[in-house]
Amino acid sequence: MTIKEFQDFIRTQYYARDRQRGTPHTFMWFVEEVGELSSALAGDDHYNKEEEFADVFAWLCTLANINDVDIEKAVGKYTVRGVKGFK
């Protein structure tokens, strides 16, 4: 599955509810998931890490969807040769 396919899947499943919730509240959910990922990374449970990475990515796709951002297109900036300014 590509990034676009996953983002489209998330859109199909959750867009109506996510759009209604709006960006500020959705961002709070995203931050909560990042916190859970932080806790998972401090532990030894690999399955939990995978779960939390998936949750963070799903919520990132949700934020992108309700803000009309194509993540696959956006990350293209990292694959273009000769682009300066990346850390």
What the chain holds in terms of domains, given with CATH numbers, is 24-74 (1.10.287.1080)
pTM of the model: 0.88
Q: What percent of the chain has pLDDT over 90?
A: 86
| Dist CA 85 CA 78 (whole Å) | 11
pLDDT of residue 80: 76
Helix (H) or strand (E) holding 17: helix 3-21
The average pLDDT across 37-56 equals 98
Cβ partners under 8 Å of residue 7, min gap 6 = 61, 64, 65, 70, 71, 72
| Cβ(63)–Cβ(27) below 8 Å | yes
Judged against a pLDDT cut of 70, whether residue 64 lies above it is answered with yes
